Amino acid sequence: MSLFQVEGLVKRFGALLATDHVNLGVDAGEIHALIGPNGAGKSTLVNLISGLFAADAGRVLLDGQDLTRLPMHDRVRAGLSRCFQITSIFREATVRDNLLLAAQAHAGSSFGMLRDRRHERPLADTAQALAERVGLAAEQHRVAGTLPHGAQRKLDVALALAANPKLLLLDEPMAGMGPEDSERMTELIHTLKRDMAILLIEHDMKAVFALADRISVLVYGKVLVSGSVEAIRGNPQVQAVYLGTEDTTGAPA
Ligand SMILES: Nc1ncnc2c1ncn2[C@@H]1O[C@H](COP(=O)(O)OP(=O)(O)OP(=O)(O)O)[C@@H](O)[C@H]1O
Ligand SMILES: [Mg+2]
């Protein structure tokens, strides 16, 4: 049994079946990449998993716990954390304050809300560790919105890590990055693998092939095929989907 599983997940937007009975698992220590063309339903699936959207049918299970009906914050508490396709940092706050806020949000009620967060030793230590973990230790005094794009994405990852997830959902962490930043983000994600399972949504195939233990291809809300990097790389159906020449019903073209 996988650490994480979705079973028969369905989401409709009016007449559109955006998530079509999806089954997907992520094992402990695994990076499972989810790829697919624009509009395939990748972000919708992440939104269903994280609890931003309510599923019309199906189940979301993490470590034996049924999360399907839990609100977002309870899913985070259960060990599920996410990064958004669009960076969700507090742009006007410093890197340090972003990290302190995230550390405080996940520290529980033992910290008084009205006390200066900077004077809370354990929170400061957590913030420092998070900054180091994503390679932003030297940038902590900077206002987050003034950081280069790649550093903002790293901060976004750090905010998700503050929850100490068992499963991290990453929705296009390389979005808008040049090759150099992509490379660094790939290295960072690789280091996270030690401590958590990851569901990685990404269009950057270089990153996907470098990181994934398993790849699933989503097309029109359905998992078309799942397999190892080698299997997916050599799959003619997948190649056709990416070249836009495939009839995804499986009928001969
Ligand atoms: N809140 C919503 N209301 C109505 N339709 C939506 C909503 N969110 C997504 N959709 C539709 O659902 C389908 C899947 O969209 P989704 O954003 O999940 O795709 P995606 O695979 O993440 O695409 P991309 O690679 O461009 O990020 C699209 O047809 C989209 O227009
Ligand atoms: Mg998306």
- What pLDDT, in 10s, does the model give residues 142-155? 999 999 999 999 99
Number of domains in the chain: 1
With beta carbons less than 8 A apart as the criterion, state whether 98 and 145 touch: no
Identify whether 26 is part of a domain: yes
Per the structure, the complete domain to which residue 18 belongs is given by: 4-90+166-243
Look at ligand 1, atom 29, and give the residue with the nearest C-alpha: 39
With beta carbons less than 8 A apart as the criterion, state whether 78 and 62 touch: yes
Q: Which ligand is nearest to the CA of 41?
A: 1
Identify whether 235 is part of a domain: yes
Residue 52 CA to ligand 1 centre (angstroms) = 13
Please give the number of the atom of ligand 1 that sits closest to the Cα of 47: 18
Query: Could you report the per-residue pLDDT of 97-124, keeping only the tens digit for each?
Result: 999 999 988 876 444 454 555 555 789 9
Identify whether 55 is part of a domain: yes
Among 5-14, 168-177, 208-217, the range scoring the smallest mean pLDDT is 168-177
Identify whether 110 is part of a domain: no
Identify whether 145 is part of a domain: no
What's the average model confidence in pLDDT over 181-189?
95
Q: What is the reported pLDDT for 192?
A: 96
Q: What is the reported pLDDT for 31?
A: 98
Is pLDDT above 90 for 239?
no
Sign of CA dihedral 46, 49, 50, 52: positive
Report residue 243's pLDDT band, with 50, 70 and 90 as the boundaries. Answer: low
Percent of the chain topping pLDDT 70 = 89
Ligand 1 binding pocket, CB closer than 6 Å: 13, 16, 18, 36, 38-44, 85
Q: What is the reported pLDDT for 74?
A: 92
User: Distance between CA atoms of 3 and 26, rounded to whole angstroms?
Assistant: 6
Look at ligand 1, atom 9, and give the residue with the nearest C-alpha: 44
Choose which residue among 10, 12, 16 to substitute to test ligand 1 binding: the one with the highest number of ligand atoms within 8 A of its C-beta: 16
Sign of CA dihedral 126, 195, 6, 229: positive
- Amino acid identity of 151? A
Q: Which ligand is nearest to the CA of 17?
A: 1
- Amino acid identity of 46? V
Q: Which ligand is nearest to the CA of 44?
A: 1
Query: Could you report the per-residue pLDDT of 15-28, keeping only the tens digit for each?
Result: 999 999 999 999 99
Q: Which of the 8 DSSP states describes residue 41?
A: S
Residue 45 CA to ligand 1 centre (angstroms) = 9
Query: Could you report the per-residue pLDDT of 196-231, keeping only the tens digit for each?
Result: 999 999 999 999 999 999 999 999 999 999 999 999
Please give the number of the atom of ligand 1 that sits closest to the Cα of 45: 18
Q: What is the reported pLDDT for 118?
A: 52
Is pLDDT above 90 for 89?
no
Identify whether 211 is part of a domain: yes
Residue 39 CA to ligand 2 centre (angstroms) = 7
Report residue 241's pLDDT band, with 50, 70 and 90 as the boundaries. Answer: confident
Identify whether 138 is part of a domain: no
Which residues neighbour 203 within 8 Å (Cβ) at sequence distance 6 or greater?
A: 35, 172, 174, 175
16-26: strand order across its sheet = 16-26, 4-13, 57-62, 65-66
Cα Rg, the chain, nearest whole Å: 19
Which residues neighbour 76 within 8 Å (Cβ) at sequence distance 6 or greater?
A: 106, 163, 165
CATH code: domain of residue 28: 3.40.50.300
Residue 201 CA to ligand 2 centre (angstroms) = 8
Identify whether 251 is part of a domain: no
Q: Which ligand is nearest to the CA of 38?
A: 1
Report residue 253's pLDDT band, with 50, 70 and 90 as the boundaries. Answer: very low
Report residue 238's pLDDT band, with 50, 70 and 90 as the boundaries. Answer: confident
Look at ligand 1, atom 12, and give the residue with the nearest C-alpha: 18
- Amino acid identity of 174? M
Q: What is the mean pLDDT of the chain?
A: 89
Please give the number of the atom of ligand 1 that sits closest to the Cα of 172: 27
Neighbouring-strand partners of residue 68: none
What's the average model confidence in pLDDT over 163-191?
94
Question: Which segment, 73-77, 83-87, 187-191, is predicted with the most confidence on average?
Answer: 187-191
